[in-house]
Amino acid sequence: MSLRLRLLTPEDSDRVLAWRNSPQVSAYMYSDHRIAQDEHDRWLAGALNLPDRRYWIIETDGAPVGLANLARIDAAARRCEWAYYLGEASTRGQGLGARIEYIVLRHVFETRGLNKLWCEVLLENEGVWKLHESFGFVREALYRQHVFKADRFQDVVGLGMLRSDWDAARPAIEARLRGKGHDPDTLPPAP
């Protein structure tokens, strides 16, 4: 299965709104309300135009399957945060997340030359925070009762990776990807 990240465009609007409102994606977002078109349009305008953000559509074999992004890109502090999701349920559980993570880490640390990448993940989304940790992210925080959704407070894990963490972890990550049949040298860079 080929993989690439391409820049988000206005033509992706309807698909991304459907993904954001799907139960499989919204279960792990901070909010759980149904996103209306006008709210989505404001979000999309920011995603496309604000200089501290970068959004990509994840494609496999040429078909859009999810969204990855950088936010709060701070060139002076040399850090940013990131997130991604697979909007198409058929793509989950195939090792796609690991390949996306590798592409984004390379982009952040090698192309952009940043020093830190961080993210926040709902504690109950164990598969994702464990994937991040397997790539060398370090748990930096546990935000207790940080999000109110599904009529209850939920904890959030804060994870961070430094450039030095990436440099140390990269050989083992590449070996693990190769062991699963994914050649890191053939993964395309993020635009």
Model pTM score: 0.94
Residue burial 137-155, b: 16+ Cβ < 10 Å; e: rest: beeeeeeeebbebeeeebe
Does 132 score more than 90 pLDDT? yes
Fill in the DSSP letter of residue 187.
S
Count Cα neighbours of 145 within 13 Å in the Cβ-side half-sphere. Answer: 3
Per-residue pLDDT tens over the stretch 11-65: 999 999 999 999 999 999 998 899 999 999 999 999 999 999 999 999 999 999 9
Helix (H) or strand (E) holding 4: strand 3-7
Q: What's the rounded Cα separation, in Å, for the pair 55 and 57?
A: 7
For residue 24 the two structure tokens come to: 């499989």
The mean pLDDT of the chain is 96
Radius of gyration of the chain (CA): 16
Per-residue pLDDT tens over the stretch 67-121: 999 999 999 999 999 999 999 988 887 889 999 999 999 999 999 999 999 999 9
Amino acid making up residue 158: G
Confidence category of residue 167, pLDDT binned at 50, 70, 90: very high
